[in-house]
Chain A
Amino acid sequence: MDHSSLAGRIFRGVALALVLVFFMFPIVWILMMSFQTNEQILRIPPRILFEPTLANYQALISGHLRTTAGNLEISFMRNLMNSFVLSSAAVLLALLLGVPAAYAFARFKFRLGESIAFTLLSFRFAPPLLVLLPLSLYYQQLGLNDTYFGIVWVYQLIALPLILWIVRGYFEDISPDIEHAYRLAGHSWREAFTRIAVPLAGPGIAAAGLLSFIFCWNNFVFALILASADKQPVTVGALAFVTASGIQYGQIAAAIVLSVTPTLLLALYAQRYLVEGLSLGAVKG
């Protein structure tokens, strides 16, 4: 665009700034709230300038929440840990199951193949509440209620379809001839899968894993119903800040910052990696 006029450039700048503000404002505001006391937050009109405090973070990390109604014990750090364990385990399991399945769907035409793939995807269509009641009944019968394994298992409803469908597309983009060539060079199909297909679909697998990690991390309702306090992730744990003496906005903000930071960093890091991986033109050979 070497011919764009000055007015055009200014307009573009303003438009970009507006979009940026629209999307970034909530994040910035939450970050600012996390360094303020409840009183500062509830001030009207709100102020941009304030004296920052680390009290919110202190309370979260130490687990002692001081409110006007007295001291509260909270297990935010435990929740954070739970989020990590549950999401990672769920994604890992989904990758182990989903990547080979995606490969099968991409490479082989078999009876009912498309129907099975679609059924798996349709798990994503149904609202979680639809399956929650029967699921919790089953879980009570099976003794899976309030176990890490049970929650990880139910997280598969989120992670598996995502991984399956994203990775399948990546496998389909790899020319089958590349794998044929590897097999003709004297390698079994298992080696062709692990040494050729998986590395070439790497960026796709990473993207799918990352996306499903974020979806698992953000899940609320499964863990709310199926887990008790000591196994609940941050999304549920944040409810603790709605106390008898009012809503602890400062702590909520700090909790949000702490729980968003890992996924945000992961996304930023992976984005760079993903862009690199995709621009390699790896698949075309």
Chain B
Amino acid sequence: MAMLEIQNVDKVYRSRGKAPVHAVRALDMAVKKGEIVALLGSSGCGKTSTLRMIAGFESVTSGAIALSQRRIDELPPAKRKVAMAFEGYSLYPPLTVRENIAFALKAQQLSRSEISRRVEAIARLVEIEDILDSFPRAISGGQQQRVSLARALVRDADLYLLDEPMGQLEPQLRAVLRGRIKGLLAERGMTAIFVTHDQTEASALADRIAVMEDGVLQQFASEKELKNRPANLFVASFIGEPPMNLLETEVAAADGGFRLSVGSDIAFQIPGDTLDHAARQALAQTKRVRIGIRPQKVAVGTGDVRVRVVSNQWLGDQSHVAGECAGHLLIAVTPSRIAARPGDVIPFALEPRHLHIFGADGACIRHAEGG
């Protein structure tokens, strides 16, 4: 049973003297109870508008939003049973951190001891126990963000909305806090939607990720699915760090399969039996396709693609090697150190089974095997 249901929602901003902005287009999404969902996209993709429509700070232009089977899109924010952590924190300046967190609990008429128990517990979780009696202006940005998170998570709500919840957190704390918050949400069966532009954060926290671009939901799936089976070229190039290597190739039928070539330097033989019927037809009808391969799938030191090393950077736990071949930049990521220096010519291996193939319209023709 869906906890939150967004049905065919559109959002159009009209302001006088300017062309209307279609921020969200025909959005359909269902979020299950206890699920953590990320709205991921670059700025202006419609993710924040979507969150604000769910919270009730923006009206929906058309469509419906239902939470626990209640239609909420006409309700004022306070009656929607949602808790929200704002990107700008929005802490109440005259209240201490403790009072800020307890604020909504007081309205719920809980006993004083219950309130203090809950505040202490959530404060321990986000490591703000020793600043509970400080005022917001006296604490750092990272601490303010943690207070804002605590204030949202301490409430009882049907849905938790978090706007860029971890962007300002101290880097050393980020990974642990992500784990703790994910653990807390799972343990209590809380349903949460958060907005982020950082895919590391999205994949760390979310069960499913909604990738948005240009107001349109591109794909709504688990991180693994997004990586292994991207619906289109946009998702393929947007998801993954560093981004997928993309090459424009020419298509020719060969040996019962297809030969994809980039100039005379790189060529791949795709056996016909690895393609389904639709893919075979799509390839037969086109002359050019885009192929993509994840940097993590490019092997260094073997293979038949010879590249001139442009940069070779060791980041402590992995090497990022950028090599140029026939005017294209290929990036390989390996867990081991590579001895090559800029200017050296070394082999890269790009295996046909690791290739994603995209048609001219950006739709995916074939996914790589096993991602």
- Chain A residues packing against B (C-beta within 8 Å): 2-3
Cα A247 to Cα B59 with chains together (Å): 61
1/0 per residue, CB under 8 A from A, across B47-59: the answer is 0000000000001
Q: Is residue B14 contacting chain A, with contact meaning CB distance below 8 A?
A: yes
Cα A64 to Cα B59 with chains together (Å): 67
CB-nearest residue of chain B to A2: B14
Cα A2 to Cα B59 with chains together (Å): 10
CB-nearest residue of chain B to A3: B59
CB-nearest residue of chain A to B61: A2
Which residues of B are found within 8 Å of A2, using beta-carbon distances? 14, 61
3 residue pairs, one from A and one from B, having the closest CB atoms: A2-B14, A3-B59, A2-B61
Cα A2 to Cα B61 with chains together (Å): 9
Which residues of A are found within 8 Å of B61, using beta-carbon distances? 2
Instruction: Give the shortest distance, in Å, between A252 (CB) and chain B (any CB).
Output: 41
Instruction: Give the shortest distance, in Å, between A30 (CB) and chain B (any CB).
Output: 33
Contacting A at CB under 8 A, from B133-164, are none
CB-nearest residue of chain A to B14: A2
Total A-B residue contacts, Cβ distance less than 8 Å:
3
Which residues of A are found within 8 Å of B14, using beta-carbon distances? 2
Instruction: Give the shortest distance, in Å, between B308 (CB) and chain A (any CB).
Output: 35
Instruction: Give the shortest distance, in Å, between B116 (CB) and chain A (any CB).
Output: 43
Cα A246 to Cα B61 with chains together (Å): 66
CB-nearest residue of chain A to B16: A1
Instruction: Give the shortest distance, in Å, between B57 (CB) and chain A (any CB).
Output: 15
Cα A2 to Cα B14 with chains together (Å): 8
Instruction: Give the shortest distance, in Å, between A272 (CB) and chain B (any CB).
Output: 15
CB-nearest residue of chain A to B12: A2
Contacting A at CB under 8 A, from B251-268, are none
Instruction: Give the shortest distance, in Å, between A221 (CB) and chain B (any CB).
Output: 45
Contacting A at CB under 8 A, from B31-86, are 59, 61
Which residues of B are found within 8 Å of A3, using beta-carbon distances? 59
Contacting A at CB under 8 A, from B333-361, are none
Instruction: Give the shortest distance, in Å, between A3 (CB) and chain B (any CB).
Output: 7
Instruction: Give the shortest distance, in Å, between A276 (CB) and chain B (any CB).
Output: 15
Instruction: Give the shortest distance, in Å, between A38 (CB) and chain B (any CB).
Output: 46
Q: List 3 A-B contacts (CB under 8 A).
A: A2-B14, A2-B61, A3-B59
CB-nearest residue of chain A to B15: A1
Cα A3 to Cα B59 with chains together (Å): 10
Instruction: Give the shortest distance, in Å, between A44 (CB) and chain B (any CB).
Output: 45
Instruction: Give the shortest distance, in Å, between A124 (CB) and chain B (any CB).
Output: 32
Cα A3 to Cα B12 with chains together (Å): 13
Cα A2 to Cα B10 with chains together (Å): 14
Cα A3 to Cα B61 with chains together (Å): 10
Which residues of A are found within 8 Å of B59, using beta-carbon distances? 3
Instruction: Give the shortest distance, in Å, between B354 (CB) and chain A (any CB).
Output: 44
Cα A3 to Cα B14 with chains together (Å): 11
CB-nearest residue of chain A to B20: A2
Cα A2 to Cα B20 with chains together (Å): 12
Instruction: Give the shortest distance, in Å, between B188 (CB) and chain A (any CB).
Output: 37
1/0 per residue, CB under 8 A from A, across B1-38: the answer is 00000000000001000000000000000000000000
Instruction: Give the shortest distance, in Å, between B17 (CB) and chain A (any CB).
Output: 13
Instruction: Give the shortest distance, in Å, between A200 (CB) and chain B (any CB).
Output: 26
CB-nearest residue of chain A to B13: A2
Cα A174 to Cα B278 with chains together (Å): 59
Cα A2 to Cα B62 with chains together (Å): 12
Instruction: Give the shortest distance, in Å, between B16 (CB) and chain A (any CB).
Output: 10
Instruction: Give the shortest distance, in Å, between A84 (CB) and chain B (any CB).
Output: 37
Cα A144 to Cα B40 with chains together (Å): 72
Instruction: Give the shortest distance, in Å, between A8 (CB) and chain B (any CB).
Output: 15
Contacting A at CB under 8 A, from B305-333, are none
Cα A220 to Cα B61 with chains together (Å): 57
Contacting A at CB under 8 A, from B280-320, are none
Instruction: Give the shortest distance, in Å, between B53 (CB) and chain A (any CB).
Output: 14
Instruction: Give the shortest distance, in Å, between B10 (CB) and chain A (any CB).
Output: 12
Cα A3 to Cα B58 with chains together (Å): 12
Instruction: Give the shortest distance, in Å, between B18 (CB) and chain A (any CB).
Output: 13
Cα A232 to Cα B61 with chains together (Å): 63
Cα A85 to Cα B14 with chains together (Å): 49
Cα A114 to Cα B60 with chains together (Å): 51
Instruction: Give the shortest distance, in Å, between B92 (CB) and chain A (any CB).
Output: 28
Cα A37 to Cα B61 with chains together (Å): 60
Instruction: Give the shortest distance, in Å, between A133 (CB) and chain B (any CB).
Output: 48
Cα A2 to Cα B16 with chains together (Å): 11
Instruction: Give the shortest distance, in Å, between B49 (CB) and chain A (any CB).
Output: 15
CB-nearest residue of chain B to A1: B14
Instruction: Give the shortest distance, in Å, between A1 (CB) and chain B (any CB).
Output: 9
Cα A226 to Cα B313 with chains together (Å): 78
Instruction: Give the shortest distance, in Å, between A159 (CB) and chain B (any CB).
Output: 36
Instruction: Give the shortest distance, in Å, between B9 (CB) and chain A (any CB).
Output: 15
